[in-house]
Structure 1
Amino acid sequence: MDLTVPRRHGPISIRLVRQRDARTLQNELLSNRTWLRPWEATNPDGAVSFDMRAGVRRLLQQYRDGGGVPLVMEYEGEIAGQLNVWGIARGSLASATIGYWVSERFAGHQITPVSVALATDLCFNEMRIHRMEICIRPENRASLRVVEKLGFRYEGLRRRYIHIDGDWRDHYAFALVREEVPNGVLGRWVSGQVPPDAASIPPGDRLAI
Structure 2
Amino acid sequence: MVSTRLIDMEDAAALARLVTENRDFLAAFEPTRDDAYFTVEGQRADLAGALGAYDRGLGLPHVITDDAGAIIGRITLSGITRGALQSCSVGYWVAEAAGGRGVATTAVRRMTDLAFDELRLHRVQAETLLDNHRSRRVLERNGFVRIGLAPQYLKIDGRWQDFHLHQLINPRG
Q: TM-score, normalised by structure 2?
A: 0.93
Alignment-derived partner of residue 28 in structure 1: 18
Seq. identity, %: 35
Instruction: Give the distance between the partners of 1:157 and 1:58, measured in 2 at CA.
Output: 29
Tell me whether 1:79 sits opposite 2:76 in the alignment.
no
Q: Which of the numbers 50, 61, 66 marks the counterpart of 1:59?
A: 50
| 4+ aligned runs moved over 2 Å, structure 1 | none
User: Once the 2 structures are TM-superposed, how far is the Cα of residue 48 of structure 1 from its aligned partner?
Assistant: 7.6
Alignment-derived partner of residue 5 in structure 1: none
Q: Residue by residue, what CA displacement relative to the aligned partner does 1:117-141 show, whole Å, maximum 9, x if unpaired?
A: 1100101010111100000001111
Instruction: Give the distance between the partners of 2:85 and 2:172, measured in 1 at CA.
Output: 19
Unaligned ranges ≥5, structure 1: 1-10, 184-209
CA contact (8 A) 1:42 1:48 kept: no
User: Once the 2 structures are TM-superposed, how far is the Cα of residue 78 of structure 1 from its aligned partner?
Assistant: 1.3
User: Once the 2 structures are TM-superposed, how far is the Cα of residue 96 of structure 1 from its aligned partner?
Assistant: 0.1
Instruction: Give the distance between the partners of 1:13 and 1:169, measured in 2 at CA.
Output: 31
Match of 1:30, as an amino acid?
T
Larger Rg, first or second structure (1 or 2): 1
Match of 1:60, as an amino acid?
L
Match of 1:25, as an amino acid?
L
User: Once the 2 structures are TM-superposed, how far is the Cα of residue 148 of structure 1 from its aligned partner?
Assistant: 2.0
Q: TM-score, normalised by structure 1?
A: 0.77
Q: Which of the numbers 164, 175, 180 marks the counterpart of 2:167?
A: 175
140-149 or 159-168: bigger deviation: 140-149
DSSP-derived class of the 1:66 partner: coil
Tell me the C-alpha RMSD between the 2 structures: 1.5
User: Once the 2 structures are TM-superposed, how far is the Cα of residue 34 of structure 1 from its aligned partner?
Assistant: 1.6
Unaligned ranges ≥5, structure 2: none
Matches within 5 A, 1:100-119: 100-119=92-111
User: Once the 2 structures are TM-superposed, how far is the Cα of residue 108 of structure 1 from its aligned partner?
Assistant: 1.8
Tell me whether 1:14 sits opposite 2:4 in the alignment.
yes
